Structure 1
Amino acid sequence: MYQMKKLALATLTAGMLGLSPLAAQAADSDLSRQLSEARQEGSIWTAIALNRHLSPFSIEVDVENGVAVLSGKVESDVDRDLAEQLALGTEGVKQVDNRLQVDPGTQPSQQNAGLAQQFDDATLTAMVKSKLLWNSNTEGLDIDVDTRSGVVTLKGHARSAEAKELAGRLAENTKGVERVDNHLSVAGDGTAGQAQKAAQDTSRAISDAWITSKVKSSYLYDSQLDGLDISVETKAGMVELSGSVLNAAEKELAIEIARNIRGVRGVDADALQIGG
């Protein structure tokens, strides 16, 4: 329906040529309304495609005068209600006519599932690249990150076997990553070493706010740590952790992650409680 409406808009625009002033004004008003409705349909469709619960299903979207009509089939009542809420959250949509049918045997649409996987893979690639850039031991490495169906492939050069292993571990511990294929080659004192030195030279003056945000983000990205209960504060490069973790292993991991963020001079985790 979204593609059909775009075609209608193009036809209407072409037909406006040669109209009388009043007719042209009416046509222009109609065009503006249809453009708005097309944007609303696109927004709803994108929200559905990005939602991993709804993306496998083929859902039709049509917006007319502020009413979004949803049709198609989903697997459960939860999916049906979720689609309605996403539509209601779109600016300009005042009401939803939810015609979605619930069928537990509904077969997922491979086209939509593939699109959702592309979004997931792009997100994972960005998360892994960020973690490698923020880490003081991998920031200067020449690493290319590619993700397909949750499998992350690392290519490029590491200055040592330890740096290669660390890069792989950072990728493996990222939420959503299924497997890591670490094809990094060890470059010794060559290109990777020069890149690392250049990165160290440019990271000497890093703000406390930058450090705090990267520590928090690293916690949220990590599959072994629930960073929502950890508070982070940085003063002159010294990171202070407070809140609670489930066990001693999580506390050690939180300290290690913070310590390895660029610009961190030390970590104080005395206020980070275990089992709180």
Structure 2
Amino acid sequence: MADFIEKQGAAIGLIGLTPFSAFAADGDMSRELSEARQEGSVWTAFALNRHLNPFTIDVDVENGSAKLTGTVETEVERDLAEQIALGVEGVNKVDNQLKLDPEFQAKASTEPNMSQRFEDATLAATVKSKLLWNSNTEGLDIDVDAENGKVTLNGSAQNPEAKELAGRLAANTDGVREVNNLLSVSKADSSAAKAQNAADDAAAAISDAWITSKVKSSLLYSRNLDGLNITVDTQQGMVHLSGNVQSSAEKQLAVETASNIRGVRGVDADSLRIDS
């Protein structure tokens, strides 16, 4: 946790202060200790995530904004770290300064074993990201593993519908050949319920730019959609889709994909045309 000792040391200066200044200092100390706890929560979440714990990621939280620095191997891992940080209570913005390891990218293009590892890691992180972005599954405790295109989901879901949705999100990811959905269903999973409620409460604070980015990514990740032909624009949580799709089924899937992203209040697809 960045600067935790320094933040604790700030409390020492309270001795001998006037009541008014001591009150102000108490507020500063409380804020700094809260930020230190948030940093610890983000760091712990990274340490417990099998896709991120191999990397050294530094976290610094200030006024609700978490700055992430360090190096990861793929763009999807970089985005996954951002989504996990946003899931920590009190963090409402992420300054993502994580860099990609150029040596890994070079090896992945030349070494067969490294290339397969790269594809598996990217696929698993992509599915995990889709689950985190989705308003109906992001609060669930789901571990994602990928091996040669086969994705295995472990953890718990609040109901059969959430389990089925997680499986569909994984299966509809480009590159996934098979899904082994081992999620257990437990209505008593209060931690997942609390996480989901917290996400719902924070939905209004999600920026239009964040929503647009995640809708675009989800469309691109879909095996059944050509996301490059769909334009996404978001205004005050309302997503507007335009461009071309091949069928009414594709249009419906695009609307469903956008509707399920966290923070989306509605989807306007009137300008999304079906090619004849």
Q: TM-score, normalised by structure 2?
A: 0.60
Map 1:221-236 onto structure 2 (within 5 A). Answer: 221-236=221-236
The count of residues paired between Structure 1 and Structure 2 equals: 175
What secondary structure does 2:170 align onto?
helix
Q: d(CA) in 2 for partners of 1:126 and 1:221? A: 12
Q: d(CA) in 2 for partners of 1:126 and 1:190? A: 24
Deviations 1:227-271 (A, max 9, x none): 001001011111111111111111110000001111111111001
Greater radius of gyration (CA): 1
Query: What is the CA distance between 1:207 and its match in structure 2?
Result: 0.6
Q: d(CA) in 1 for partners of 2:234 and 2:199? A: 21
Q: d(CA) in 2 for partners of 1:199 and 1:189? A: 18
The equivalent residue for 1:205 is 205
The equivalent residue for 2:97 is none
The equivalent residue for 1:190 is 189
Contact 1:152 1:179 (8 Å CA) reproduced: yes
User: Where do 5+ consecutive residues of structure 1 fail to align?
Assistant: 1-41, 56-111
Contact 1:251 1:272 (8 Å CA) reproduced: yes
Q: TM-score, normalised by structure 1?
A: 0.60
Q: d(CA) in 2 for partners of 1:204 and 1:186? A: 29
The equivalent residue for 2:163 is 164
The equivalent residue for 2:121 is 122
Change (3 A) 1:194 1:50: same
Query: What is the CA distance between 1:202 and its match in structure 2?
Result: 3.0
Query: What is the CA distance between 1:187 and its match in structure 2?
Result: 1.3
Contact 1:206 1:263 (8 Å CA) reproduced: yes
Query: What is the CA distance between 1:199 and its match in structure 2?
Result: 2.3
Change (3 A) 1:251 1:145: same
Which residue among 86, 108, 112 is the counterpart of 1:50? Answer: 108
Map 1:1-276 onto structure 2 (within 5 A). Answer: 46-47=104-105, 49-51=107-109, 55=110, 112-191=111-190, 192-275=192-275
- The CA RMSD over aligned residues, in Å, is 1.7
The equivalent residue for 1:65 is none
Contact 1:142 1:195 (8 Å CA) reproduced: no
Q: d(CA) in 1 for partners of 2:114 and 2:108? A: 8
Deviations 1:109-143 (A, max 9, x none): xxx32211100001011110110001010010111
Q: d(CA) in 1 for partners of 2:131 and 2:269? A: 23
User: Where do 5+ consecutive residues of structure 2 fail to align?
Assistant: 1-100
